Amino acid sequence: MPSHSTEPTRIDAAVPARAGAGLKADHVQDVLDTGADIGFFEVHAENYMGAGGVPHRQLEAIRERYPLSLHGVGLSIGGEQPLDKSHLQRLADLNRRYEPGLFSEHLAWSTHDTTYFNDLLPVPYDKATLDRVCDHIDEVQEKVGRKMLLENPSTYVAFEQSTMSELDFLKEITRRTGCGLLLDVNNVHVSSTNHARSAIEYLQDFPMDRVGEIHLGGHAPDVDDAGRPLLIDAHDREVDDAVWALYETVVERNGPVPTLIEWDNDVPAWPVLLAEAQAADRILSQESGAGFKRAV
Amino acid sequence: MNVPEFPTRVGSGEFGQAIWDPEAETPSGLTGPDGLTAPKRFSVYRNNVIVSLSEALEQTFPAIRNLLGEDYFKALARAFVVRHPPTSPVLLWYGAEFAGFIEAFPPLEAYPYLADVARVEWAWLQSYHAADAAPMDPAALGSVDPEALGTVRFEKHPATDMVVSRWPVWDLMRVNRFEPDAEIDVDLEASQSVLITRPDYDVNLLLLRPGGDVFLNALLSGAMLGEAAASAQAQVEEFSLSDCLSDCLSNGAFKDLVTA
């Protein structure tokens, strides 16, 4: 067997303050054949929880050549019930196996009782939820043995029972748990539009010193029950101009941060995704002078 | 923040219930920026859940999708997703009950071969994600004392499986998944059983020869080579031990040879 027979030689794990792309199985051959010049790749952890075969072979080949970010989508950190211990173990195992430079999950829930919903469902911003989320993050960081980044959500409804703003909620989580934040600028634009808030003000108040990674992705426009704009976090197209503009202000103010282009549905050919990453790289390099700084 | 004096609380149980039931009312307490309940906003979540899970099934069962057509598959997947939502966040493992669901789905009664095609696609996926392992070297049999050959057993390779069917599942898989351009006349009277192996990274689907299903089934259940051959011979006259064994060995069906 070609795999595991020798200890693979891997590039350094640290993710640079450059642009990366979400890894798609259909792109792996193109990436390897062309030796694509890109800062890092990010994968959804759950896609690599099988025992063996092509997915692991591809991921190992990528990991040998590029830094990796491991992004969980199914842990249900915002869930009302205790974390799924076997799932947490799988996440810890993947962290050990691939030594990603970044590890992140979501402020959302996706499991209730024994049912998994396969979507990032919203949580109320109240004290009971805050306590639970903090306990869960403590548990994750202890089990995995490293700091995680928590991603701000895209939401379509607000909870009447919320007693805090999303920002205060996130700030309190990082303060209590020491976790970092994954700032999804598309999510900021989507949620701000959906809840008639100012994205600019949200970003001005965002605890940038906690941000270890940025996400950019495409969204789909729709309208809500009252005919107001409703944006859907679809990851099915190019990054919107409004999101690029917000991103530029973030980078201008705070300097370069590893930045991921997410494109998960209607996935284009590799050169199209690479071009999006290059667009982010141009913005990052304007702010970092001659060279790219390393992420913390 | 503007917090209502007596806010309506919405737990995950209520939220989740309303996801699965399209007739359910949007839980009050979930609002738009005007503070009013917003069914269309809530339906974004409902749609995300149902569509993403249906798409996961479509990726796992492309031959079923082709046999039924896009629209029918979507409707079937939606019905399945609501009755059998995933119980794990690892969607690689989602769809184990799909074949049984198809089999028991009254509108598809006239297409009894569909469930077995789904079983082959499910087995193919399990093989694709199975643990890596070097298959047994076929030459290993040569070093066994000929007198003892009948008593050897084989340890199954982790990526090996078989589907026994009274329907032409091999031809149906070729036409609807692996060789869409091939001109194959599918004879619905034919019975085809298949062996699924993955000696390295590519999954192989192989049509078992006459008696091969009985033979391999016995071997995979731990029978000795002699016992397996005898039972295949007894049930199927055209059974050829050398051909069937050679198919298994050359396709990496076994991980190890176990001598007594």
**In this model, does residue A294 exceed pLDDT 50?**
no
Hey, of A156, A166, A228, A233, which one would you mutate to test binding to chain B, going by the most B CBs within 10 A of its CB?
Answer: A156
DSSP 3-state of A9: coil
CA separation for the pair A152, A211 (Å, rounded): 11
Closest CA to B194 of B133, B234, B251, B109: B251
Q: Given pLDDT bands bounded at 50, 70 and 90, which one contains residue B260? A: confident
pLDDT number for residue B200:
95
Residue of B nearest to A160 (CA): B29
pLDDT number for residue A288:
62
The model's pLDDT over A73-120, given as tens digits with 9 standing for 90+, comes to: 999 999 999 999 999 999 999 999 999 999 999 999 999 999 999 999
CA A16 from centroid of its chain's CA atoms? 15
Q: Does A221 touch chain B (CB under 8 A)?
A: no
B1 or A267, greater pLDDT: A267
**In this model, does residue B239 exceed pLDDT 60?**
yes
Q: Does A116 touch chain B (CB under 8 A)?
A: yes
**In this model, does residue A290 exceed pLDDT 50?**
no
Q: Name the DSSP letter for residue A154.
A: P
Q: Does A271 touch chain B (CB under 8 A)?
A: no
The model's pLDDT over A177-218, given as tens digits with 9 standing for 90+, comes to: 999 999 999 999 999 999 999 999 999 999 999 999 999 999
* Pairwise CB contact (< 8 Å): A165 & B1: yes
Q: Are strands A180-184 and A211-217 parallel, antiparallel or unpaired?
A: parallel
DSSP 3-state of B181: coil
Q: Provide the mean pLDDT of chain A.
A: 94
Contacts of A108 in chain B (CB under 8 A): none
**In this model, does residue A296 exceed pLDDT 50?**
no
**In this model, does residue B58 exceed pLDDT 70?**
yes
pLDDT number for residue B1:
58
**In this model, does residue A1 exceed pLDDT 50?**
no
Contacts of A190 in chain B (CB under 8 A): none
Closest CA to A54 of B201, B126, B59, B134: B201
Residue contacts between A and B (CB atoms, under 8 Å): 165
pLDDT number for residue A7:
62
Q: What percent of chain B has pLDDT over 70?
A: 99
CA A54 from centroid of its chain's CA atoms? 24
CA A122 from centroid of its chain's CA atoms? 16
Distances, alpha carbon A170 to alpha carbons A155, A179, A182, A207, A253, in Å: 15, 10, 11, 9, 20
Signed CA dihedral, A180, A182, A185, A188: sign only = negative
φ, ψ of residue A99 to 5 degrees: the values are: 45, 60
Question: Is residue B47 packed enough to be buried (19+ CB in 10 Å), middle (13-18) or exposed (0-12)?
Answer: middle
CB-nearest partner of A157 from B7, B31, B56: B31
Residue of B nearest to A114 (CA): B87
The model's pLDDT over A108-165, given as tens digits with 9 standing for 90+, comes to: 999 999 999 999 999 999 999 999 999 999 999 999 999 999 999 999 999 999 999 9
Hey, of A43, A89, A159, which one would you mutate to test binding to chain B, going by the most B CBs within 10 A of its CB?
Answer: A159
CA separation for the pair B197, B124 (Å, rounded): 8
Contacts of B197 in chain A (CB under 8 A): none
pLDDT number for residue B238:
97
The model's pLDDT over A32-68, given as tens digits with 9 standing for 90+, comes to: 999 999 999 999 999 999 999 999 999 999 999 999 9
Beta carbons of B98 and B79 less than 8 angstroms apart:
no
Which pair of structure tokens corresponds to residue B43? 């339906």
CA separation for the pair B8, A244 (Å, rounded): 37
pLDDT number for residue B6:
86
* Pairwise CB contact (< 8 Å): A160 & B45: no
Q: Does A113 touch chain B (CB under 8 A)?
A: yes
**In this model, does residue A5 exceed pLDDT 60?**
no
Q: Given pLDDT bands bounded at 50, 70 and 90, which one contains residue B5? A: confident
pLDDT number for residue A234:
96
**In this model, does residue A4 exceed pLDDT 60?**
no
Question: ipTM, 2 decimals?
Answer: 0.94
Contacts of B42 in chain A (CB under 8 A): 156-157
The interface residues of chain A toward chain B in range 222-251, judged by CB-CB distance below 8 A, are 222, 224-226, 228, 230, 232
pLDDT number for residue A8:
67
The C-alpha angle A256, A259, A262, rounded to 5 degrees, equals 165
Q: Provide the mean pLDDT of chain B.
A: 96
Q: Does A97 touch chain B (CB under 8 A)?
A: no
- From A214's Cα to the closest Cα of chain B, the distance in A is 23
- From A289's Cα to the closest Cα of chain B, the distance in A is 41
Domain borders along chain A are 22-287
pTM: 0.94
Contacts of B48 in chain A (CB under 8 A): 118-119
pLDDT number for residue A246:
98
Task: Report all structural domains of chain B as residue ranges with CATH numbers, in order of start.
Answer: 1-111 (no CATH), 133-260 (3.90.930)
The model's pLDDT over A107-121, given as tens digits with 9 standing for 90+, comes to: 999 999 999 999 999
CB-nearest partner of A162 from B1, B41, B132: B1
* Pairwise CB contact (< 8 Å): B89 & A53: no
φ, ψ of residue A140 to 5 degrees: the values are: -60, -50
* Pairwise CB contact (< 8 Å): B9 & A156: no
Residue of A nearest to B19 (CA): A117
Contacts of A162 in chain B (CB under 8 A): 1, 3
User: Which superfamily does CATH assign the domain made up of A22-287 to?
Assistant: Divalent-metal-dependent TIM barrel enzymes (3.20.20.150)
Question: Is residue A71 packed enough to be buried (19+ CB in 10 Å), middle (13-18) or exposed (0-12)?
Answer: buried
